[in-house]
Structure 1
Amino acid sequence: MKNVLIINGHQYYDVVAKGELTASYIDTATNFLEENSFTVKTTHIEKGYEIEEEVQKLVWADYVIFQYPVYWMSMPWLAKKYFDEVLTQGKHYASDGRSREDASKTYGSGGLLKGKYMLSLTYNCPVSEFDNEKGFFDGLSLDEAHIAVHKIFQFCGMTPLKSYAVHDIFKGDLNLDFELEKFEKVLKDNFLLD
């Protein structure tokens, strides 16, 4: 059996961010994974957590899904605080990777975690802004626009799975059933074909 940790990085703001959309994605992922014989643990950052328990969950996990809404082009500040607190306990990397004795060991190569991770994002930004030289993100792909979040996991030794994002969530015409079908397809590709 494979172990999956789902981290809920949502942060509540009345009117604009109550958490229902994030919960829909986490419920879909949990049901999909459990139906396919994965063991699932979850952390809902906003509801509180014990640092040492989270340290151990990351060590336990073969896979991590980090589900979060994009606030001001990155993760909510409570999610950043979570990573700052949990990843500074010395259990997820041996060093920054460099060695005075071996110049081939480079920065960022000291991670101890060997699992894989998936980013799953909820966005008000339209998909057309990515991979578009004239777009807001200056031609960056979705993953390039979230390089800092990717590097958190990669610094700890994890490798990326395909990311997922739902866009235009405030436009008023979001077809959630259709989007969750797309999400489930990404889950199949990431977890059943891996």
Structure 2
Amino acid sequence: MNQSENKKVLILNGHQYYDVVAKGELTNNYIKKAKEFFLENGFEVKYTHIEEGYNKEEEIEKLVWADYILLQYPVYWMGVPWITKKYFDEVLTQGKHYASDGRSREDSSKTYGSGGLLKGKYMLSLTYNCPESEFGNKNGFFDGLSLDEAHVAVHKTFQFCGLEPLKTYSVHDIFKGDLDLEKEFKKFENTLKENFK
């Protein structure tokens, strides 16, 4: 990346609306904080709210354009909302984001998943009903998996395209009633600073 140019970030809003339980206010607050942070720190920002629709060709080029991607989403049934998975299926294309699956008949040292063409980095930011204590806990629901291990499919999707992971942010127990949003936003901002400054 040319140091004289602005760093370029694509913010992807992976939220999917469900009345009462998932109207999107929390996701939108995180998106707003992220946009403010990036603009204040000299980033060029592009934004896609997946649920509002998108032009596939434009999204293909946005992913090529971006030095960084921030994917903000609520965790539904242990993964991304289905419209976000649909976005990946429709937008990630061979020839733009990856050349092949990486393997070569001529060179056996080339391994599966090494054909990515993108050169940037990505960050996941997750909103969760699940308590943080369930991760890294051999007696917990996720059988000892860390937060990132529990989201291996999303990580490997980006990594297949050549992107490198940044530190993941997550907020937990969002329906418990005692969520300290100001404290969480500070934690989010600190993670952004750690990842992008």
Quick check: TM above 0.5? yes
The answer to whether the aligner puts 1:41 opposite 2:46 as a matched pair is yes
Pairing partner for 1:114 from 116, 119, 125: 119
The structure 1 segments of at least 4 consecutive aligned residues displaced by more than 3 Å after TM superposition are: none
Alignment of 1:170-181 (within 5 A): 170-181=175-186
- Alignment match, 1:77: 82
The answer to whether the aligner puts 1:183 opposite 2:178 as a matched pair is no
Q: CA RMSD in A?
A: 0.6
Identical counterparts, % of pairs: 76
| 1:41 CA displacement | 0.6
| 1:72 CA displacement | 0.2
Q: Deviation digits for residues 122-161 of structure 1, max 9, x if unmatched? A: 0000000000000000000000000000000000000000
CA distance in 2, matches of 1:140, 1:42: 31
Contact kept in structure 1, 2:123 and 2:167, CA below 8 Å: yes
Pairing partner for 1:22 from 1, 16, 27: 27
The answer to whether the aligner puts 1:101 opposite 2:106 as a matched pair is yes
State the TM-score, normalized to the length of structure 1: 0.98
Q: Which runs of 5+ in 1 are unaligned?
A: none
| 1:89 CA displacement | 5.5
User: How many residue pairs align between the two structures?
Assistant: 192
| 1:52 CA displacement | 0.3
- Alignment match, 2:97: 92
- Alignment match, 1:141: 146
Q: Amino acid of the residue matched to residue 92 of structure 1?
A: H
CA distance in 2, matches of 1:4, 1:59: 11
- Alignment match, 1:59: 64
- Alignment match, 2:166: 161
Q: Secondary structure at the match of 1:180?
A: helix
CA distance in 1, matches of 2:75, 2:176: 15
| 1:88 CA displacement | 3.1
Q: Secondary structure at the match of 1:68?
A: strand
CA distance in 2, matches of 1:88, 1:14: 33
Contact kept in structure 1, 2:60 and 2:93, CA below 8 Å: no
Deviates more, 1:143-152 or 1:86-95: 86-95
Q: Deviation digits for residues 79-115 of structure 1, max 9, x if unmatched? A: 0000000013531000000001111100000000000
Q: Secondary structure at the match of 1:190?
A: helix
Q: Amino acid of the residue matched to residue 186 of structure 2?
A: E
The answer to whether the aligner puts 1:126 opposite 2:146 as a matched pair is no
Pairing partner for 1:151 from 150, 156, 159: 156
Q: Amino acid of the residue matched to residue 124 of structure 1?
A: N
